[in-house]
Amino acid sequence: MPVYMPLVGIPTCLRVVNERVFHGVIDRYPNAVIDAAGCLPVLIPAIGLKVDVCVLLDRLDGLVLTGSPSNVHPSHYGAEPSHPEILHDPERDATTLPLIREAIRRDLPILAICRGIQELNVALGGTLHQRVHEVPGRLNHRSRKESSDGPYGPAHSVTLTAGGILAALAGASEVMVNSLHSQGIDRPACGLRVEAVAPDGQIEAVSLPAARFVVGVQWHPEHKVMENPLSTALFSAFAGACAAACVAPIVYAA
Protein backbone atom coordinates (compact mmCIF):
# COMPACT_ATOMS: atom_id res chain seq x y z
CA MET A 1 0.00 0.00 0.00
CA PRO A 2 1.19 3.58 -0.58
CA VAL A 3 2.51 5.50 2.42
CA TYR A 4 1.67 9.19 2.75
CA MET A 5 4.39 11.29 4.33
CA PRO A 6 3.34 14.77 5.47
CA LEU A 7 5.87 17.55 4.90
CA VAL A 8 6.96 19.35 8.07
CA GLY A 9 8.80 22.66 7.81
CA ILE A 10 11.63 23.36 10.27
CA PRO A 11 12.92 26.96 10.23
CA THR A 12 16.71 27.12 10.60
CA CYS A 13 19.03 29.41 12.53
CA LEU A 14 21.66 31.62 10.94
CA ARG A 15 25.18 30.90 12.19
CA VAL A 16 28.64 32.17 11.35
CA VAL A 17 31.35 29.48 11.57
CA ASN A 18 34.91 30.30 10.53
CA GLU A 19 33.65 33.44 8.79
CA ARG A 20 31.14 31.42 6.77
CA VAL A 21 27.39 31.83 7.12
CA PHE A 22 25.30 28.68 7.54
CA HIS A 23 21.56 27.98 7.79
CA GLY A 24 21.31 25.07 10.18
CA VAL A 25 19.37 23.02 12.70
CA ILE A 26 20.55 20.42 15.23
CA ASP A 27 19.96 16.95 13.83
CA ARG A 28 17.78 15.87 16.79
CA TYR A 29 14.86 17.84 15.37
CA PRO A 30 14.64 16.38 11.85
CA ASN A 31 15.43 12.96 13.29
CA ALA A 32 12.52 13.26 15.73
CA VAL A 33 10.21 14.35 12.91
CA ILE A 34 11.22 11.25 10.94
CA ASP A 35 11.46 8.69 13.75
CA ALA A 36 8.68 9.75 16.10
CA ALA A 37 6.28 11.53 13.74
CA GLY A 38 6.85 9.60 10.52
CA CYS A 39 6.91 12.87 8.58
CA LEU A 40 9.42 14.31 6.12
CA PRO A 41 11.33 17.36 7.47
CA VAL A 42 11.91 20.30 5.14
CA LEU A 43 14.47 22.87 6.34
CA ILE A 44 13.46 26.48 5.84
CA PRO A 45 16.37 28.94 5.49
CA ALA A 46 16.34 31.98 7.77
CA ILE A 47 15.91 34.57 5.04
CA GLY A 48 13.04 36.62 6.41
CA LEU A 49 11.08 38.66 3.89
CA LYS A 50 12.72 36.82 1.00
CA VAL A 51 10.32 33.97 1.83
CA ASP A 52 6.74 34.22 0.61
CA VAL A 53 5.13 32.50 3.58
CA CYS A 54 1.88 31.87 1.72
CA VAL A 55 3.58 30.05 -1.15
CA LEU A 56 5.78 28.13 1.29
CA LEU A 57 2.91 27.00 3.52
CA ASP A 58 0.95 25.89 0.45
CA ARG A 59 3.43 23.01 0.30
CA LEU A 60 3.69 22.14 3.99
CA ASP A 61 1.49 20.18 6.35
CA GLY A 62 2.93 21.41 9.65
CA LEU A 63 5.74 23.29 11.39
CA VAL A 64 8.25 22.35 14.08
CA LEU A 65 9.86 25.36 15.75
CA THR A 66 13.16 24.42 17.34
CA GLY A 67 15.24 25.51 20.26
CA SER A 68 18.32 27.66 19.73
CA PRO A 69 21.07 29.45 21.66
CA SER A 70 19.56 32.70 20.38
CA ASN A 71 16.56 34.53 21.85
CA VAL A 72 13.67 36.40 20.26
CA HIS A 73 14.61 40.06 20.00
CA PRO A 74 12.73 42.17 22.61
CA SER A 75 11.67 44.71 19.96
CA HIS A 76 9.09 42.15 18.82
CA TYR A 77 7.23 42.32 22.14
CA GLY A 78 7.82 45.94 23.14
CA ALA A 79 10.50 45.33 25.75
CA GLU A 80 13.62 47.28 26.56
CA PRO A 81 16.88 46.41 24.72
CA SER A 82 18.32 43.15 25.93
CA HIS A 83 21.38 42.36 28.01
CA PRO A 84 24.51 42.65 25.82
CA GLU A 85 25.41 38.99 26.45
CA ILE A 86 22.14 37.71 24.96
CA LEU A 87 22.46 36.23 21.48
CA HIS A 88 19.88 37.17 18.85
CA ASP A 89 19.07 35.92 15.35
CA PRO A 90 17.05 38.63 13.57
CA GLU A 91 16.86 36.64 10.34
CA ARG A 92 15.19 33.76 12.18
CA ASP A 93 12.78 36.17 13.91
CA ALA A 94 11.88 37.66 10.53
CA THR A 95 11.23 34.17 9.15
CA THR A 96 9.41 32.41 11.99
CA LEU A 97 7.06 35.11 13.28
CA PRO A 98 5.20 35.61 9.96
CA LEU A 99 5.25 31.84 9.36
CA ILE A 100 3.57 31.19 12.72
CA ARG A 101 0.85 33.75 12.14
CA GLU A 102 0.04 32.49 8.65
CA ALA A 103 0.20 28.82 9.71
CA ILE A 104 -2.30 29.52 12.50
CA ARG A 105 -4.54 31.41 10.08
CA ARG A 106 -4.54 28.29 7.88
CA ASP A 107 -4.98 25.93 10.85
CA LEU A 108 -1.73 24.09 10.12
CA PRO A 109 -0.31 22.07 13.02
CA ILE A 110 2.58 23.58 15.00
CA LEU A 111 4.87 21.94 17.55
CA ALA A 112 6.97 24.65 19.20
CA ILE A 113 10.00 23.69 21.29
CA CYS A 114 12.08 25.91 23.64
CA ARG A 115 12.79 29.04 21.55
CA GLY A 116 9.80 27.91 19.52
CA ILE A 117 7.32 28.36 22.37
CA GLN A 118 8.73 31.83 22.91
CA GLU A 119 8.29 32.63 19.21
CA LEU A 120 4.74 31.29 19.30
CA ASN A 121 3.87 33.49 22.27
CA VAL A 122 5.44 36.61 20.76
CA ALA A 123 3.89 36.01 17.32
CA LEU A 124 0.44 36.02 18.94
CA GLY A 125 1.07 39.12 21.05
CA GLY A 126 2.54 37.77 24.31
CA THR A 127 5.66 38.90 26.15
CA LEU A 128 8.78 37.22 27.54
CA HIS A 129 11.13 37.32 30.49
CA GLN A 130 14.54 37.90 28.96
CA ARG A 131 16.42 36.31 31.89
CA VAL A 132 14.13 34.08 33.95
CA HIS A 133 16.85 33.40 36.54
CA GLU A 134 16.87 37.12 37.41
CA VAL A 135 13.11 37.25 38.09
CA PRO A 136 12.47 37.21 41.87
CA GLY A 137 11.27 33.82 43.06
CA ARG A 138 12.10 31.98 39.85
CA LEU A 139 14.47 29.02 39.49
CA ASN A 140 17.60 28.96 37.38
CA HIS A 141 16.18 27.23 34.30
CA ARG A 142 19.47 27.15 32.44
CA SER A 143 21.17 23.86 31.62
CA ARG A 144 22.63 21.58 34.28
CA LYS A 145 25.65 19.51 33.30
CA GLU A 146 26.00 17.30 36.37
CA SER A 147 23.34 14.82 35.18
CA SER A 148 24.37 11.47 33.68
CA ASP A 149 22.42 12.65 30.63
CA GLY A 150 24.38 15.90 30.47
CA PRO A 151 22.44 19.16 30.08
CA TYR A 152 19.38 17.24 28.82
CA GLY A 153 18.86 15.26 32.01
CA PRO A 154 15.68 15.71 34.11
CA ALA A 155 15.84 19.09 35.84
CA HIS A 156 12.49 19.76 37.50
CA SER A 157 8.87 18.68 37.52
CA VAL A 158 6.00 20.43 35.76
CA THR A 159 2.35 20.34 36.77
CA LEU A 160 0.10 19.58 33.79
CA THR A 161 -3.20 21.41 33.46
CA ALA A 162 -6.17 19.15 34.14
CA GLY A 163 -8.14 18.59 30.94
CA GLY A 164 -5.28 19.83 28.77
CA ILE A 165 -3.64 18.17 25.80
CA LEU A 166 -0.43 17.27 27.63
CA ALA A 167 -2.21 15.83 30.65
CA ALA A 168 -4.20 13.60 28.31
CA LEU A 169 -1.07 12.50 26.42
CA ALA A 170 0.88 11.87 29.62
CA GLY A 171 -1.94 10.20 31.54
CA ALA A 172 -0.57 12.03 34.58
CA SER A 173 -0.81 15.35 36.38
CA GLU A 174 2.96 15.83 36.78
CA VAL A 175 6.07 14.88 34.79
CA MET A 176 9.80 15.54 34.97
CA VAL A 177 11.37 17.61 32.18
CA ASN A 178 14.78 18.89 31.15
CA SER A 179 15.52 22.62 31.26
CA LEU A 180 17.91 24.59 29.04
CA HIS A 181 16.51 28.10 28.74
CA SER A 182 17.17 31.57 30.09
CA GLN A 183 14.23 33.25 28.34
CA GLY A 184 10.63 32.29 29.09
CA ILE A 185 7.00 33.34 28.82
CA ASP A 186 5.96 36.34 30.91
CA ARG A 187 2.47 37.27 29.72
CA PRO A 188 0.84 34.57 27.60
CA ALA A 189 -0.75 35.70 24.35
CA CYS A 190 -4.52 36.00 24.17
CA GLY A 191 -6.04 32.66 23.19
CA LEU A 192 -3.21 30.50 24.48
CA ARG A 193 -4.01 28.02 27.26
CA VAL A 194 -1.36 27.25 29.84
CA GLU A 195 -0.63 23.50 29.65
CA ALA A 196 2.18 23.14 32.22
CA VAL A 197 3.78 25.16 35.00
CA ALA A 198 7.11 24.69 36.81
CA PRO A 199 7.27 24.66 40.64
CA ASP A 200 8.31 28.33 40.62
CA GLY A 201 5.28 29.38 38.55
CA GLN A 202 7.13 29.67 35.24
CA ILE A 203 4.92 28.71 32.28
CA GLU A 204 6.39 25.60 30.67
CA ALA A 205 3.84 24.68 27.99
CA VAL A 206 0.91 26.22 26.13
CA SER A 207 -1.64 25.25 23.51
CA LEU A 208 -4.10 27.01 21.25
CA PRO A 209 -7.44 25.27 21.90
CA ALA A 210 -9.11 26.85 18.87
CA ALA A 211 -6.56 25.28 16.51
CA ARG A 212 -6.27 21.80 15.02
CA PHE A 213 -2.95 21.32 16.87
CA VAL A 214 -0.77 24.10 18.23
CA VAL A 215 1.35 23.09 21.23
CA GLY A 216 4.46 24.72 22.67
CA VAL A 217 6.76 23.24 25.30
CA GLN A 218 9.69 24.93 27.00
CA TRP A 219 11.62 21.69 27.44
CA HIS A 220 13.23 19.44 24.79
CA PRO A 221 11.04 16.43 23.86
CA GLU A 222 13.19 15.77 20.78
CA HIS A 223 16.02 14.55 23.02
CA LYS A 224 15.87 10.73 23.11
CA VAL A 225 12.31 11.09 21.90
CA MET A 226 11.69 7.35 21.52
CA GLU A 227 12.69 6.70 25.15
CA ASN A 228 10.19 9.11 26.73
CA PRO A 229 6.49 8.14 26.58
CA LEU A 230 5.22 11.73 26.72
CA SER A 231 7.65 12.89 24.03
CA THR A 232 6.68 10.00 21.77
CA ALA A 233 2.98 10.69 22.34
CA LEU A 234 3.47 14.40 21.67
CA PHE A 235 5.20 13.84 18.32
CA SER A 236 2.64 11.18 17.43
CA ALA A 237 -0.26 13.57 18.12
CA PHE A 238 1.47 16.22 16.02
CA ALA A 239 1.92 13.68 13.21
CA GLY A 240 -1.76 12.80 13.31
CA ALA A 241 -2.70 16.45 12.96
CA CYS A 242 -0.25 16.87 10.05
CA ALA A 243 -1.73 13.84 8.30
CA ALA A 244 -5.21 15.31 8.70
CA ALA A 245 -3.96 18.62 7.28
CA CYS A 246 -2.05 16.95 4.45
CA VAL A 247 -2.56 19.00 1.27
CA ALA A 248 -0.07 17.44 -1.15
CA PRO A 249 1.08 14.06 0.16
CA ILE A 250 4.27 12.49 -1.10
CA VAL A 251 3.61 8.86 -1.96
CA TYR A 252 6.20 6.15 -1.34
CA ALA A 253 5.91 2.47 -2.08
CA ALA A 254 5.51 0.52 1.14
| Residues known to be catalytic | 114, 220, 222
Name the CA radius of gyration of the chain, rounded: 17
Alpha carbon distance, N-terminus to C-terminus of the chain = 6
Ramachandran angles phi, psi of 221, nearest 5°: -75, -15
Q: How far apart (Å, rounded) are the C-alpha atoms in residues 32 and 50?
A: 28
219: Cα separation from own chain's centroid: 9
Apex 182 CA angle, 179 and 185, nearest 5: 90
Q: Are 13 and 68 in contact (CB under 8 A)?
A: yes
Q: How far apart (Å, rounded) are the C-alpha atoms in residues 233 and 236?
A: 5
Q: Across the strands, what pairs with 218?
A: none
